[in-house]
């Protein structure tokens, strides 16, 4: 298996032409390990980086540097990147479209993630904080970003259920976007909007797998569900907080899943 025990794992973002308000992400390591998936794997802007085992990162990236993510169904490139970056305890938070994708799929994607325990050496303390650092002087990690990375990497390990992990991730997402938590009533209402979206997504996944929906029908209905969730979130939060949390991607949620990539992967997996 490729990699070394200690390397700098680096997230990267590349602006997408379509849609122009989201970034594609990928991961590299200082030992020469390149994890390219769902698009380009060279160039772009440096995101968060930290020391971690690229042996574990390479294991988590399998198969085909997709890290077990089924594109558009259990996550997109952001979730794939976050899985591969897990040994460094950093994420690709800060890239455009990130908050929307996490609202839709979580930090590390939908469903069980058995490789999280399989790929680490026996006896590893998965909740041990990493040594996150800024990728460059132009992208210094703020204390809020460090808090976010620590909260979500530890939350996935320590949470007894996917629901507990979801709430931890949503709280961290809101906190880093606003600089403070939402009041409890508003947070619960936002959580309910996310839960409804996840329930619809789960139902659509089942209908796609059973053949009841074609891939194109799944994509159209998923886009409609994302649009509804964003409209409800804007009504709840108001324009200012909505923009801080979801950015321009929240105004154009239909672009979260790249149709070309989704159709190519769905056909390939069929």
For residue 173, give its domain range.
Answer: 7-269
For residues 237 and 47, the answer to whether their CB atoms sit within 8 Å is no
Is 158 a domain residue? Answer: yes
Instruction: Specify the residue for token string 């619809």.
Output: 200
Is 261 a domain residue? Answer: yes
Is 2 a domain residue? Answer: no
**What is the per-residue pLDDT for 155?**
73
What is the layout of strands, in order, in the sheet containing 23-29? 34-35, 23-29, 7-15, 45-52, 131-133
Give the burial string for 164-187 (b: 16+ CB within 10 Å, else e): ebbbbbbbbbbbbbeeeebeeeee
Is 187 a domain residue? Answer: yes
Give tens-digit pLDDT for 42-99: 889 999 999 999 999 999 999 888 999 999 999 999 999 999 999 999 999 999 999 9
Secondary structure in 3-state letters for 211-262: CCCCHHHHHHHHHHHHHHHHHHHHHHHCHHHHHHHHHHHHHCHHHCCCHHHH
For residues 25 and 101, the answer to whether their CB atoms sit within 8 Å is no
Region 166-180: what's the mean pLDDT?
93
Give tens-digit pLDDT for 191-242: 999 999 999 999 999 999 999 999 999 999 999 999 999 999 999 999 999 9
For residues 71 and 262, the answer to whether their CB atoms sit within 8 Å is yes
CA–CA distance, 165 with 27 (Å, rounded to integer)? 23
SS3 of 101, please? Answer: helix
Is 37 a domain residue? Answer: yes
Is 68 a domain residue? Answer: yes
Percent of the chain, pLDDT > 70? 89
Is 1 a domain residue? Answer: no
**What is the per-residue pLDDT for 145?**
82
Under DSSP, the state recorded for 141 is: P
SS3 of 51, please? Answer: strand
Is 173 a domain residue? Answer: yes
CA–CA distance, 45 with 15 (Å, rounded to integer)? 9
SS3 of 163, please? Answer: helix
pTM to 2 decimals? Answer: 0.90
Give the burial string for 246-270 (b: 16+ CB within 10 Å, else e): bbebbebbebbbbbebbbebbeeee
Structural domain tally of the chain? 1
pLDDT at 138 over 50: no
């Amino acid at each position: 298996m490729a990699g070394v025990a200690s390397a700098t794992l680096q997230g990267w973002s590349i602006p997408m032409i379509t849609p122009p308000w989201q970034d594609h992400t990928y991961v590299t390591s200082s030992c020469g390990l390149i994890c390219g998936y769902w698009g380009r794997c060279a160039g772009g802007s440096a995101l968060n980086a930290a020391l971690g085992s690229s042996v574990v990162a390479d294991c988590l990236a399998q198969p085909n540097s997709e890290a077990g993510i089924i594109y558009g169904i259990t996550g997109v490139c952001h979730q794939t990147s976050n899985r591969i970056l897990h040994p460094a305890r950093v994420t690709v938070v800060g890239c455009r479209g990130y908050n929307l994708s996490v609202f839709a799929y979580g930090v590390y994607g939908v469903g069980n993630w058995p490789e999280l325990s399989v790929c680490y050496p026996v006896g590893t303390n998965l909740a041990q904080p990493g040594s996150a650092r800024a990728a460059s002087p132009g992208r210094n990690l703020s204390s809020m970003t460090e808090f976010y990375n620590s909260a979500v990497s530890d939350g996935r390990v320590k949470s007894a259920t996917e629901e507990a992990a979801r709430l931890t991730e949503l709280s961290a997402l809101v906190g880093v976007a606003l600089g403070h938590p939402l009041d409890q009533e508003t947070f619960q209402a936002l959580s309910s909007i996310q839960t409804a979206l996840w329930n619809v997504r789960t139902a659509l996944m089942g209908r796609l797998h059973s053949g009841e929906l074609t891939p194109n029908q799944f994509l159209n209905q998923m886009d409609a569900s994302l649009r509804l969730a964003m409209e409800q979130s804007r009504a709840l939060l108001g324009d200012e907080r909505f923009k801080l949390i979801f950015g321009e991607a929240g105004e154009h949620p239909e672009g979260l899943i790249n149709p070309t990539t989704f159709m190519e992967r769905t056909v390939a997996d069929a």
